[in-house]
Structure 1
Amino acid sequence: MSLTPEERIELHGFNNLTKSLSFNMYDICFTRTKEEREAYLQYIDEQYNADRLTNILKDVSDIIGAHVLNIAKQDYEPQGASVTLLVSEGPIIEAPKEAFEESPGPLHPDSVVMHLDKSHITVHTYPEYHPDEGISTFRADIDVSTCGEISPLKALNYLIHSFDTDIMILDYRVRGFTRDINGHKLFIDHEINSIQNFIPEEIKKQFDMIDVNIYQENIFHTKCKLKQFDLNNYLFGYTEDALSHQERNFITEKLTEEMNEIFYGKNIK
């Protein structure tokens, strides 16, 4: 059962529904030498260090209207970083209409303040590389878990714009239940047909997308793969003008193969 702003149902106590968004993104680069690979990994570690990731998660916290209780962050050796925010409820106000709409959330953390409690936001990064084929891949996993009225999907638009993304794998699930004043259980409190409806149209046009949804279980899954790419954005320290036609085709093939394997979840060769 879902609720609309016009048909609000009075609840028995706090909204106990737990809404969890898992946002996994991949950035891919072609690094043909050991020096290029090391430079790429250093660039990723600087671009997505624990301090910058903390600022991103703080913005997510503002978007979903949470108070940050505790921050744990760590830059790892030789590479990678993790940040965890424990958050609690913000001031309780009447939910704005957009909190219930199946539409993209804000690009910036404006004053969207909602009821939230005993929740967390985490990010972990995983730079890695192929042992001999020149492909380096950066993965970031972000999990936003909330209790209360607003969905963490409202932070998705901001997250997409915070990372350079070739592949996105998105999971959303509503767990548990809350009760109305008569004791009737409510297993979801907002309309949702697809995670895609929370992604702006200009972003969706850039990606091929696949949905796998289990509506009766309130489980939603969307995968996104960039349709076209400029080879210059995947070379480190030089442009495609420095490559022969054969080299450009080889690198394009390797990049495409990497994207397809991640998108479809299986080795092609």
Structure 2
Amino acid sequence: MDLTPAQRIELYGFNNLTKSLSFNMYDICYTRTKEEREAYIEYIDEQYNAERLTKILKHVADIIGAHVLNVAKQDYVPQGASVTILVSEGPVVEVPTESYNESPGPLPDSVVMQLDKSHITVHTYPEYHPDEGISTFRADIDVSTCGEISPLKALNYLIHSFDTDIMTIDYRVRGFTRDINGHKLFIDHDISSIQNYIPEEVKDLFHMIDVNVYQDNIFHTKCKLREFDLNNYLFGYTKEKLNPEELEEITERVKMEMDEIFYGKNINRGWTNAIDLN
């Protein structure tokens, strides 16, 4: 059952619906030598270390009006980082009707809501392929809340917090809550697409595909940058340093990597080994 602001129903006890947002971002880079690969991984580890990731997640907590209970953070060796924040209901008592509107969330902290028994996590995965010259960085962010707020309100801020070429976004409402007559409510807000929570200027940058299972309150959106400039995928030099054969080969490899991640399947690799990757 979907509720609009005009249909607010008095609940029996706390809103026990669990709303979970999983946001995965990917950054792609072409690194043709071992030194470039190591420099890229070092750059990513510095750019997205546990300290900075903690600041990002605390901003998310501010956006959804959460009170931080505990922070666990870790930088890993040789690479990667994790942060987990446990949060509870913030001091806000009155819940704004804006929580029921399909619209992009704030940048960074102008909405407060009501929630309880919730958590926010991030894990990073820098990695590279030793033969094909491709390095990738993946960050997995999960925001899970119980109560009035949909974590989609934090999506806009999360998108702006990471440099991303590809995004996969999942949103699911689980469980149920009850009104004062015992009637079960399996969702408490209207939603037709995750895209409705992404600003138009951001959507214009990406090619997007939706896969939604409305009867199970499961929503999925995949995003890949529309514009391709090879300079954005080279580390430490520009495409002007490449000869025409290298330019074509590297462009093919980077685009194929992006397509495989976006479509979730391997593509036949027919290139030659003309470029020295040692």
C-alpha offsets along residues 64-107 of structure 1, whole Å, 9 cap, x if unaligned?
11000000000000000000000000124322232111111001
Corresponding residue number in structure 1 for 2:76: 76
Partner Cα separation in structure 2 for residue 105 and residue 184 of structure 1: 30
Worse-matched range after superposition: 149-158 or 97-106: 97-106
CA contact (8 A) 2:30 2:134 kept: yes
SS at match of 1:196: helix
Corresponding residue number in structure 1 for 2:96: 96
Q: If the length of structure 2 is used for normalisation, what is the TM-score?
A: 0.95
| Deviation >3 Å, runs of 4+ | none
Corresponding residue number in structure 1 for 2:271: none
Q: If the length of structure 1 is used for normalisation, what is the TM-score?
A: 0.98
2:31 is the alignment partner of 1:31: yes
Corresponding residue number in structure 2 for 1:115: 114
C-alpha offsets along residues 149-184 of structure 1, whole Å, 9 cap, x if unaligned?
110000000000000111100100000000111111
Corresponding residue number in structure 2 for 1:217: 216
2:140 is the alignment partner of 1:141: yes
Letter aligned with residue 80 of structure 1: G
Q: How far has the Cα of 1:7 moved from its partner? A: 2.0
2:69 is the alignment partner of 1:105: no
CA contact (8 A) 2:65 2:92 kept: no
Letter aligned with residue 19 of structure 1: K
Partner Cα separation in structure 1 for residue 128 and residue 94 of structure 2: 48
CA contact (8 A) 1:19 1:145 kept: yes
Partner Cα separation in structure 1 for residue 98 and residue 245 of structure 2: 51
C-alpha offsets along residues 22-72 of structure 1, whole Å, 9 cap, x if unaligned?
000000000000000000000000000000000000000000110000000
Letter aligned with residue 28 of structure 1: I
Partner Cα separation in structure 1 for residue 241 and residue 92 of structure 2: 58
Corresponding residue number in structure 2 for 1:168: 167
SS at match of 1:213: strand
Q: How far has the Cα of 1:8 moved from its partner? A: 1.1
Q: How much is the aligned-residue C-alpha RMSD, in angstroms?
A: 0.9
Corresponding residue number in structure 2 for 1:6: 6
Letter aligned with residue 162 of structure 1: S
Worse-matched range after superposition: 203-212 or 25-34: 203-212
Partner Cα separation in structure 2 for residue 113 and residue 90 of structure 1: 8
Corresponding residue number in structure 1 for 2:248: 249
Question: What are structure 1's unaligned runs of at least 5 residues?
Answer: none
Partner Cα separation in structure 1 for residue 191 and residue 66 of structure 2: 22
**Identity %, equivalent residues:** 80
Letter aligned with residue 151 of structure 2: P
Q: How far has the Cα of 1:113 moved from its partner? A: 2.1
C-alpha offsets along residues 104-123 of structure 1, whole Å, 9 cap, x if unaligned?
1001122x222211110000
SS at match of 1:253: helix
Letter aligned with residue 218 of structure 1: N
